Amino acid sequence: MIKRRFYIETYGCQMNIYDSGVISEILTGQGHEPADCAAEADLILINTCSVRDRAERKVLTRLSEISATKKGRPDLLLGVVGCMAQRLGKKLTETWMKIDLVVGPDSYDTLGGIITGLTVERDPVVETTQDSECMYAHRPKTFDSVSAFVTIMRGCDNFCSYCIVPYVRGRERSRPLGDIIKEIKHLVELGVKEATLLGQNVNSYRDGKTGFAGLLEAVDAVEGLERIRFTTSHPKDLAPGVIERIRDLPGVCEHLHLPLQSGSDRILASMNRGYSYGDYRRIVNLARSAIPGIAITTDIMVGFPGETRSDHEATLRAMEEIAFESAFMFKYSAREGTHAAGLTDDVEEAEKVARLGQVIELENSIIDTKKQALLGKEVEILVEGESRRESGFLIGRTRKNWLAKLPQKGVSKGEVVVAEVTGVTRWMISCDGSVRKAGA
Ligand code: 5AD
Ligand code: SF4
């Protein structure tokens, strides 16, 4: 068997980062070795995202770049995994690019066997069978980071009209509670202090009688785990019990990522989101009154089919009213096969760009105001490691997920400290004053 040196490049969401870890473990288990960079690898896997056209174009550019280098490196194998592999399948092998394997998200277990039998002379292998029960575990031998993603469910059943995920990731299924806890305990033994629980809609997690609130309790009870985060919450399914657990469980961070998408009820209905702006507002009020200062972050999409100027203004008003701690903001991009792809994509590109510019500008000013208000306050920081930009400094995150920087003196990676905010920029908090260990 040829032992390969593999390198995985990851695009897209946190789920893909987790999956790349799973793939790496599968390949290492088969005797293949990870390479430090693409140039040193003889097997390059690109883990891809299909959520927007732009994400796909970026990957196609990268694939053609690598394909072009194959002339000078005849033994190099190139593979596509992830959502684009699922969506495009065999089509990816029918271009000028020489792609050797295409494997969808439900078939990573077959990767070991596929790669063992693969040589540059062979026809490409395409494996995109969908399996509505497929679930992976991740038990790495070593783990560098103090913060880990842990997938608690896969797939999605919501069918928001714009979204490709239910098609490429299949039906929603939850991972057994026992497996999740085992994985987190294993990660904690490797030095992990923070787990981010991942799912397309974590609020519909279920294992027998245990729902998401029960899962939070079980994870909070894992000894040695300092912090718990989770994403993504769907506003239509967020139960009051989850808000109570954020309030009451010491490990659960005071942060809720709650995609709004639009402030217009007409657009929300056309997106099939299952809530109105009023419903959304009520959840935010409930969370903020139970947990004062909780960070609420969101996703906003502009230029959905039929979005008028006044719909867009409703989104701006909603953003102003709620004042999100942070937002991911996107232009609508039609995805073939989704319900919205059948609607007329009638907001002109220049108008989409302008609307996106407006939401970004508004959100930036909200963040600036929130950051200013932090000056002089104490924050709790989990130290993630040394700053790559500034020597002598450490980087970490506050419970509300702000990125923070502090001097290295007497503090090390993995520690939870309390520090005073002495400076702020839009993307960073500085804590140059005194620092003490949390609980001290
Ligand atoms: N076009 C633009 N943005 C999209 N998203 C999902 N599908 C699309 C699409 N077709 C955004 C949504 C979602 C986030 C992960 O990506 O805002 O919450
Ligand atoms: Fe993640 Fe969705 Fe992109 Fe797939 S399509 S990588 S699930 S964001």
Q: Give a yes or no: residue 264 inside a domain.
A: yes
Rg (CA), the chain: 22
Residue 368: predicted pLDDT = 97
Any idea which ligand is nearest the CA of 259?
1
What spacing in Å lies between the alpha carbon of 77 and ligand 1's midpoint? 32
User: Residues of the chain with pLDDT > 90: what percent?
Assistant: 92
Q: What is the CATH number of the domain that holds 415?
A: 2.40.50
Claim to verify: residue 103 and residue 162 sit in the same structural domain: no
Q: Is the pLDDT of residue 40 over 80?
A: yes
Is the pLDDT at 105 greater than 80? The verdict is yes
Atom of ligand 1 nearest to the CA of 299: 17
Ligand 2 mean position, distance from CA 1 (Å): 33
d(CA 390, CA 408): 11
Same domain for 163 and 100?
Answer: no
Decide if 59 contacts 11 (C-beta within 8 A): yes
Query: 434 exposed, middle or buried (CB, 10 Å; 0-12, 13-18, 19+)?
Result: exposed
In this structure, how many other beta carbons lie within 10 angstroms of the beta carbon of residue 375? 12
The answer to whether residue 385 sits within a structural domain is yes
Share the mean pLDDT of the chain.
96
The amino acid occupying position 15 is M
CB of 340 within 6 A of ligand 1: the answer is no
Q: Is the CB of 83 under 6 A from ligand 2?
A: yes
Please state the domain count of the chain: 3
Give the neighbor-by-neighbor strand order of the sheet with 423-424.
423-424, 429-430, 403-407, 393-398, 378-386, 416-420, 435-437
**Which residue's alpha carbon is at the smallest distance from atom 8 of ligand 2?**
13
Q: Do residues 327 and 428 share a domain? A: no
186 with 99, same domain: the answer is no
196: pLDDT strictly greater than 90 = yes
Mean pLDDT in residue range 97-106? 95
Q: Does some domain include residue 137?
A: no
In a domain, 19, yes or no: yes
| Same domain? 246 vs 394 | no
Residues 366, 389 share a domain: no
Q: Which pLDDT score, from 0 to 100, does residue 74 have?
A: 85
Q: What's the pLDDT tens digit per position in 56-90?
A: 999 999 999 999 998 888 889 999 999 999 999 99
**pLDDT confidence bin for 279, thresholds 50/70/90:** very high
Q: Report d(CA 405, CA 396) in Å as an integer.
A: 6
pLDDT for position 71: 84
pLDDT band at 112 (very low <50, low <70, confident <90, very high): confident
- Statement to judge: residues 18 and 67 lie in one domain: yes
Q: What's the 274 CA to ligand 2 centre distance in angstroms?
A: 21
Looking at residue 320, which CATH number applies to its domain?
3.80.30.20
Whether residue 423 is contained in a domain is answered as: yes
Give the pLDDT band (50/70/90) at residue 426: very high
pLDDT greater than 80 at residue 248: yes
Domain that holds residue 107: 5-127
CA 195 – CA 187 distance, rounded (Å): 9
Mutate to test the pocket of ligand 2, among 157, 169, 201, 301 (most ligand atoms within 8 A of CB): 169
Query: What confidence tier does 2 reach under pLDDT thresholds 50, 70, 90?
Result: confident
Whether residues 116 and 225 fall in one domain: no
**Domain end call among 96, 127, 158:** 127
The b-or-e profile of 286-322 (16+ CB within 10 A means b, else e) is ebeeebeebbbbbebbbbbbbbeeebbebbbebbeeb
Domain CATH code at residue 32: 3.40.50.12160
Grade residue 410 by pLDDT with cuts at 50, 70 and 90: confident
Last residue of a domain, one of 372, 399, 428: 372
* 141 within some domain: no
Distance 169 CA to ligand 2 centre (A): 8
Q: Which of 94, 127, 160 is the last residue of a domain?
A: 127
If pLDDT is split at 50, 70 and 90, which confidence band does 372 have? very high
Query: In terms of domains, do 95 and 212 share one?
Result: no
Residue minimizing CA distance to atom 7 of ligand 2: 165
Does the pLDDT of residue 118 top 90, yes or no?
A: no
- What pLDDT does residue 1 have? 76
* DSSP line for 171-196: S-EEPPHHHHHHHHHHHHHTT--EEE
What amino acid occupies position 439?
Answer: G
Answer yes or no: do 46 and 166 share one domain: no
pLDDT at 121: 72
Question: pLDDT at position 58, please?
Answer: 97
With bands split at pLDDT 50, 70 and 90, how would you rate the model's confidence at 100? very high
265 assigned to some structural domain = yes
Statement to judge: residues 394 and 272 lie in one domain: no
Predicted confidence at residue 13, as pLDDT, reads 95
Same domain, 66 and 182: no
Kindly state whether residue 419 falls inside one of the protein's structural domains.
Answer: yes
